[in-house]
Chain A
Amino acid sequence: MILIPILALVIGILIPYFLKIGPLQGITGQYLAVACLAGLDTVCGGIRTGLEEKFNSAVFYSGFVFNICIAFGLAWFGDRIGINLFLIAALVLGQRIFSNLSIIRRQILTKWRSDRERKAAQLQAQTQNQPQANP
């Protein structure tokens, strides 16, 4: 189930190769690199809310578009006024990616552990019930 997004990411990376759209030139490529971070952050956030069972597609899609626009715009604006604002975007987004990933990891771990405990409890219940069923 987590493999579907990963597969989609790989396909997405390969599409420009097959369509022969070269990597972007110059400063636009640099802005797009920051926008990529924003996209990655949103995707991580989406997976996190999905695992927390709070996923909302409207929030997710709008977050993706908005974050990308903000990161792109901030980087552009920073260059216009001579401040490396894209560093700010990279810092904040990087931090958010980290925290999102750690929450995802914790979610998966707790889910895995509770599954195991449930199975163990079931097994125990079965072994306790069996002697009573056959006296």
Chain B
Amino acid sequence: MTNPFHIRGNQSWEWPVASLCLVLGVMVSLAWIGKANRESRFSTLDADMAGRISRGEIDEVELRRLSSEVSKLREENTKLQNAVAGNSQQSRVLNEALQQVKTWSGLTAIEGPGITVTLTDSQNMDLLENDRIIHDNDLMRIVNELWASGAEAIEINGHRLVARSTIRCVGPVIQVDARVVSVPVHIRAIGDIEDLYGALNFPGGVAESFRELDPTMFKIDRVKLHHFKAFSGSTELRTAKIPPEANKKP
């Protein structure tokens, strides 16, 4: 009687191997990470792997193109509103109010005198690494100081800040309204030049904290005329609504 578990060996191997290769091929292509299942496979990948795979997701060029289109359309919108308002006294008053609100909220292009703050990473290797680089809270401190000292419009690297703007740190980069900001960071503000200048330069102020570390990190210039584009992000409200009583006619 032959033992069924006896290993005979030396059988033809090509066809068994080929058949399982077929199965393996099906498995590989089912486990492949493609466009359709990238999202759901995310959570199961390591953090840095997820980052590497997601990098292709946002098309930076397309984003830039679309946001410049948005600001162009907003300018056009302003022009059209002005044209419509030319007809009667009432509509002119309405339009003035509208333009005032839009200017205040950053939806129009705007110009005026002000300052430019330029922040760069320090090249001084004697400093701690944490002190050498520009952080999100440096931007926040400066922006806060500028608003507090009467800035009427602020732009960071060409991106207009509005009431809902955010400045935060995402991994190694700073994001302003989900747009990546890299050094050198140019913070431009429109307002009274000397007020803005003084607000950053007072003893113990923002400028001094940089100068203590490395004076090359912080540069401030007076500018005769800034020209800012309109805010180019989304202004859509998803949850908030105007309460009905506010819309009632008196």
By a beta-carbon cutoff of 8 Å, the part of chain A in contact with chain B is 1, 4-17, 21-27, 29-30, 32-33, 35-36, 39-40, 42-43, 46-47, 49-50, 53-57, 59-61, 64, 68
Measured between beta carbons, the chain A residues less than 8 angstroms from B238 are none
B130 contacts partner chain A, Cβ-Cβ < 8 Å: no
From known contacts A11-B25, A17-B29, A23-B34, infer whether A50 and B17 are also in contact, taking CB-CB under 8 Å.
Answer: yes
User: Could you list some 21 contacts between A and B, CB below 8 A?
Assistant: A4-B15, A5-B21, A7-B18, A9-B24, A10-B25, A12-B29, A15-B25, A21-B30, A23-B36, A25-B40, A26-B41, A29-B41, A32-B27, A40-B24, A46-B13, A47-B13, A55-B12, A55-B16, A56-B11, A57-B16, A61-B20
Q: Are A29 and B24 in contact (CB under 8 A)?
A: no
Residues of B47-69 contacting chain A, CB below 8 A: none
Residues of B within 8 A of A29 (CB): 30-31, 33, 37, 40-41, 44
Q: Give bound CA distance, A50 to B12, whole Å.
A: 7
Q: Assess the A5–B7 pair: CB atoms within 8 A.
A: no
Q: Which residue of A is nearest B32, CB measured?
A: A23
Q: What 3 pairs between A and B have smallest CB-CB spacing?
A: A12-B25, A50-B13, A55-B13
B interface secondary structure, majority: helix
- Chain B residues with CB under 8 Å of chain A are 7-34, 36-37, 40-41, 43-45
In the assembly, what is the distance between CA of A58 and CA of B17, in Å?
12
CA distance A27 to B33 in the complex (A): 12
Give CA–CA (A26, B38) in the complex, Å: 8
Which of B10, B18, B21, B33 interacts with A53 by CB under 8 Å?
B10
Using Cβ atoms and an 8 Å threshold, which residues of chain B touch A57? 11, 13, 16
B33 touches A12 (CB 8 A): no
Decide: B30 and A23 in contact? CB cutoff 8 A: yes
Given the contacts A5-B14, A50-B14, A55-B9, A60 and B29 also touching, CB distance less than 8 Å: no
Q: Please, which residues of chain B bring their CB within 8 A of the CB of A60? A: 13, 16-17, 20
Known A-B contacts A23-B34, A56-B7; A5 and B27 likewise in contact (beta carbons under 8 Å): no
| 8 Å CB contact of A43 from B17, B31, B33 | B17
Contact partners of B34 in chain A: CB under 8 A: 22-23
Q: Which residues of A contact B16 (CB under 8 A)?
A: 46, 55, 57, 60-61
Residue from A10, A21, A23, A43 whose CB has the most chain B CB atoms within 10 Å: A23
Residues on B with beta carbons closer than 8 Å to the beta carbon of A68: 27
Do B41 and A43 touch (CB < 8 A)?
no
Task: List, in ascending order, chain B residues with CB within 8 A of A13's CB.
Answer: 25-26, 28-29
* Interchain CB contact under 8 A, B10 and A55: yes
Question: Contact between A12 and B10 (Cβ–Cβ < 8 Å)?
Answer: no
Q: Which residues of B contact A39 (CB under 8 A)?
A: 20, 23-24, 27
Are A12 and B23 touching (Cβ within 8 A)?
A: yes
